[in-house]
Amino acid sequence: MRASAPIVDGLFTWPADEPRLLGGRCNECGTITFPQQSGCPKCGAQSLDEHMLATRGRLWAWTTQEFPPPAPPFAGVSGRDFEPFGVGYVELPGELRVETRLTEHRADHLRIGMEMELVIVPFGTDDDGIERVTFAFRPVDEAGVVDGD
């Protein structure tokens, strides 16, 4: 089995059977941020604690990336191997909206308000042969079954 690591340390728990996004919660006003920040964007306080975000939420808005973005800064697969992907905001109940990659990009499989679930997906392999992973959200159908299972 090849070693894997997050694309950026501190974005989510890894390795983990049930990964969670790592945000921050202000000790003064309770504002939740993602990713973690050194200060509160609402009240300016410098005292924030780590806060593990919910793993399910509702799709708030979305679009698709149908062509490879310019590289750099895009570090994903390009050229003939590029595959379209969804990008959106998932609203985590009582917390915030997370800008995220979606595992789905087909318009007939996405709708505003649908339930989504956090997953960890491959991003690419670095120069040392380590598979880099990132977070995404995938659709959950009305019966609570994750799309594709």
Identify the sign of the CA torsion 104, 108, 112, 113. negative
pLDDT for the residue 124: 83
Structural domain spans, the chain: 55-139
pLDDT for the residue 70: 77
* Tens-place pLDDT, residues 27-60: 999 999 999 999 999 999 999 999 999 999 999 9
149 residues of the chain, pLDDT tens digit each? 567 899 999 999 999 999 999 999 999 999 999 999 999 999 999 999 999 999 999 999 999 998 887 777 677 777 778 889 999 999 999 999 999 999 999 999 999 999 999 999 998 888 888 999 999 999 997 545 555 54
CA distance 26 to 145: 34
pLDDT for the residue 144: 52
- Report the half-sphere exposure of 108 (CA within 13 A, side-chain side): 0
Phi then psi for residue 147, to 5 deg, are -55, 130
User: Distances in Å between the alpha carbon of 32 and those of 70, 95, 123?
Assistant: 32, 6, 27
